[in-house]
Amino acid sequence: MSLDLLLGLQWGDEGKGKIVDAITSNYDIIARFQGGPNAGHTIEFDGNKHVLHTIPSGIFNKDSINLIGNGVVIDPGIFLKEIEGLNKYKIDLRKNLFISKRAHIILPTHKIIDATSEASKGKKKIGSTLKGIGPAYMDKTGRNGIRVGDIIDDSWQLKYNSLKEKHLNIISNFNQSVEISLDELEKDFFNGIECLKSFNLIDSETYLNNSIEQGKKILAEGAQGSLLDIDFGTYPYVTSSNTTAAGACSGLGVAPNKIKNIIGIFKAYTTRVGSGPFPTELFDSTGERIRKVGHEYGATTGRDRRCGWLDLVALKYSVQINGVTELNIMKSDVLSSIGKLKVCTSYLIGDKEINYFPFDIKSKEVIPQYIEFDGWDQNITQVKSEFDLPKELKDYISFIESFVKVPIQLISVGPDRIQTIYRDK
């Protein structure tokens, strides 16, 4: 009787998609619980590379059910494109993919509000992916939203028209001109709605709880990362959902006492895309090297990801907030031949050294305190056993484990599904 949870512990893009895909055969159901197409989850296997935005990353395992949970916001146009993109894999999506009736729908005008709102912020912009996420969640909590279950009855279009009018008023008040064609967005949107209707739209909370009772194994897949959480992230430079463990309960309708393992994923360094504080950010050739070697460019927007050293103050915070029971370290292969490595173990703010993640981080005022580690030159991308990893990497891993007091169970050494080292429990 259990549900495991898999979450990103940094600012997103930790490699969640890769791991969900790699471990999906251990589960009967993979369920996404929050976020929307702001996510880009990359999966590589057998020479294929595929990026998923709304559909859970278990979709390539034909034996498991994938569920888009009630906490997710769905853009029907993007959803349709994702479905079309999966055609070549010959997966029976009408059988393997379920969608919660309670999930909210992103309207074309949500995307325009996102763009005009960002444009009006100037230098203070969030760096949103402009997928309409913030405005869609605002309508959800404002009790104006349209849900997937609504589209079964055609009368939803009346609600659509009145919400669209309201949005157009909001947009005109921003006094910003953005180059987005509402007509084109609406065309994609209505095609997408027809596509959505052809899927199995379900009362997902009942389905999941019944499945738990029947002894099925469920993996809840998070999107974004803990430091982008609406409550615990670097507000206001965050996304608009609870990306942390509690979000899985509200985003799927499962109680906390059903959760067993909480798997936290982090990169061996740190990245961030979009604006906001990032104490360990590197502005030098080392940061550039990490970006190039790690291909740190946004999977959804193609933007350069900002790169820096591993921040253990932030990691420990994420481990605490989520109650992480096991860790997965990603992309240590990217650090091969980089020379000495640094990890941040505390922040100096003014004359005060602190070892926790504070309410407000102003990057310029925070001086990360680092510990240095010897690096390694070995190419580790083909290593299959932890015993064959360089001693320096093993030391690095041991230090992280002792600092955050949670074991690292999986070491990822490349983007492919098979470039994964599982450690004995």
Which residues are identified as catalytic?
13, 41
134 binds, among Mg ion, ligand GDP, ligand IMO, none (CB under 5 to 8 A by kind): ligand IMO
Identify which of residues 17 and 414 has a Cβ nearer to ligand IMO in the complex.
Answer: 17
How far apart CA 30 and CA 56 sit, in angstroms, is 7
Min CB(84)–Mg ion separation in Å: 20
Min CB(12)–ligand IMO separation in Å: 2
Query: Per-residue contact track with ligand IMO, 237 to 276, x per CB under 6 A?
Result: --x---------------------------------xx--
Identify which of residues 305 and 342 has a Cβ nearer to ligand IMO in the complex.
Answer: 305
How far apart CA 78 and CA 320 sit, in angstroms, is 34
Identify which of residues 229 and 392 has a Cβ nearer to ligand IMO in the complex.
Answer: 229
334 binds, among Mg ion, ligand GDP, ligand IMO, none (CB under 5 to 8 A by kind): ligand GDP
How far apart CA 353 and CA 366 sit, in angstroms, is 10
How far apart CA 175 and CA 171 sit, in angstroms, is 7
Min CB(20)–ligand IMO separation in Å: 11
To the nearest 10 degrees (0 to 180), the angle between helices 108-121 and 182-197 is 140
Question: Which residues, numbered 175-234, are part of the site for ligand GDP (CB under 6 A)?
Answer: none
Which among 53, 39, 63, 45 has a CA at the least distance from the CA of 420? Answer: 45
Instruction: Tell me the window of 241-249, 252-260, 292-300, 369-377 that interacts with Mg ion (CB under 5 A).
Output: 292-300
To the nearest 10 degrees (0 to 180), the angle between helices 391-404 and 312-322 is 50
Our CA dihedral for 199, 204, 209, 210, rounded to 10 degrees, sits at -40
Asked whether the CA dihedral 39, 44, 50, 52 is positive or negative, the reply is: negative
The yes or no reply on residue 299 touching ligand GDP (CB under 6 A) is yes
Question: Which residues, numbered 293-332, are part of the site for ligand IMO (CB under 6 A)?
Answer: 299
Query: Per-residue contact track with ligand IMO, 122 to 151, x per CB under 6 A?
Result: ----xxxx-x-xx-----------------
Which among 148, 153, 182 has a CA at the least distance from the CA of 168? Answer: 182
The yes or no reply on residue 333 touching ligand GDP (CB under 6 A) is yes
Identify which of residues 113 and 406 has a Cβ nearer to ligand IMO in the complex.
Answer: 113
What is the CA 177 to chain-centroid distance, rounded?
A: 30
How far apart CA 248 and CA 251 sit, in angstroms, is 5
Question: Which residues, numbered 23-42, are part of the site for Mg ion (CB under 5 A)?
Answer: 40
Amino acid at residue number 349: I
How far apart CA 273 and CA 307 sit, in angstroms, is 9
Min CB(298)–ligand IMO separation in Å: 7
CA end-to-end span of the chain: 20
Query: Per-residue contact track with ligand GDP, 1 to 30, x per CB under 6 A?
Result: -------x---xxxxxxx------------
The contact set with ligand GDP (CB under 6 A) reads 8, 12-18, 39-42, 44, 294-295, 299, 330-331, 333-334, 412-415
